[in-house]
Amino acid sequence: MKLSQILRTVFIAAVLLLNAGCGPVNEAGILRVGFDIDDTVLLSRDIFVNLPADKRSPIDFAWVNLQDRQMSKLITPTAELIHFFNAHGHQVFFITARPGDNGDTLAAFLTEQLGFPVIKNANLFFEPKQTLGDQRYTTKHRRMKKLDLDLYYGDSDTDIIAALKAGVHPVRVVRHQSSIDQYGKNFFGDTTDGTTIAAPFSDLDKQLFYRASVGVFGESIYPIIWPGPTDETE
Ligand SMILES: [Mg+2]
């Protein structure tokens, strides 16, 4: 066996040991970074606006998880960020609130788009919301704690709340304007409303948050506003 092969084997074994949950895993200065999927890694709006009538209420996520190849686009600034972390030896995980039925298909699509293995329940986790009373609450913080994350990137208020609950540094990714227009909820309250107690922040307030790079919960805002996918026909 060549020296380079031996070194590679030792390196892979060390990484697997670090991931085996044997004590604190961050002593080597390796960050464990989490990302939300919808409107953070993938612009998947087209799936949700094209839900067939019989898959809307409740949303049939087993169907949704089969549609990314046809309808989702990679959000390139987030992909660059993921590659940046990987290139520096940090560990990247994905946590989505989608239920996990047909989650292997989403994993395969992410693998293809990002160019490294994305595997359900290994580095891609499905953590659906929980209903308490008439509210829906995130459960992502439970996975964040188990993964011992350092950083978490997401577009929604609930992403930021989950990170704070888990003691993880939260970073807000700016949701694409077309998604805000289509479903404004869970993004600074709902800036498409801006007139109620539950949604007091207007579009103007949203611009102030962006300019100050700080959000409702004191989170950082990743300062890149993505214009959208390049039209392949141009
Ligand atoms: Mg999202």
| pLDDT tens-digit map of 29-64 | 999 999 999 999 999 999 999 999 999 999 999 999
C-alpha pair distances (Å), 54 with each of 47, 69, 98, 129: 14, 21, 18, 21
**Is 177 within the bounds of a domain?**
yes
Whole-number pLDDT of residue 21:
43
Tokens for 122, please give them: 């290994």
What is the distance in A from the centroid of ligand 1 to the CA of 158? Answer: 9
**Is 23 within the bounds of a domain?**
no
* CATH number for position 140: 3.40.50.1000
**Is 2 within the bounds of a domain?**
no
* 8 A C-beta contact, residue 225 and residue 210: yes
| pLDDT surpasses 70 at 16 | no
Domain extent, residue 216, equals 30-221
Q: How many domains does the chain have?
A: 1
Average pLDDT over residues 64-74: 97
What is the distance in A from the centroid of ligand 1 to the CA of 15? Answer: 29
C-alpha pair distances (Å), 182 with each of 49, 57, 172, 177: 8, 17, 19, 9
* 8 A C-beta contact, residue 61 and residue 44: no
What is the distance in A from the centroid of ligand 1 to the CA of 13? Answer: 33
* 8 A C-beta contact, residue 118 and residue 68: no
With 0.85 as the threshold, say if the pTM is over it: yes
What is the distance in A from the centroid of ligand 1 to the CA of 39? Answer: 5
What is the distance in A from the centroid of ligand 1 to the CA of 180? Answer: 11
**Is 231 within the bounds of a domain?**
no
**Is 230 within the bounds of a domain?**
no
- According to the per-residue pLDDT averaged within each range, which of 8-17, 20-29, 70-79 is highest? 70-79
**Is 21 within the bounds of a domain?**
no
What is the distance in A from the centroid of ligand 1 to the CA of 7? Answer: 39
In 3D, which of 181, 222, 196, 207 has the Cα closest to residue 84? 222
| pLDDT surpasses 50 at 17 | no
**Is 202 within the bounds of a domain?**
yes
What is the distance in A from the centroid of ligand 1 to the CA of 10? Answer: 37
The neighbourhood of ligand 1, an ion, using CB within 5 A, equals: 36, 38-39, 155-156
**Is 35 within the bounds of a domain?**
yes
| pLDDT tens-digit map of 171-225 | 999 999 999 999 999 999 999 999 999 999 999 999 999 999 999 999 999 999 9
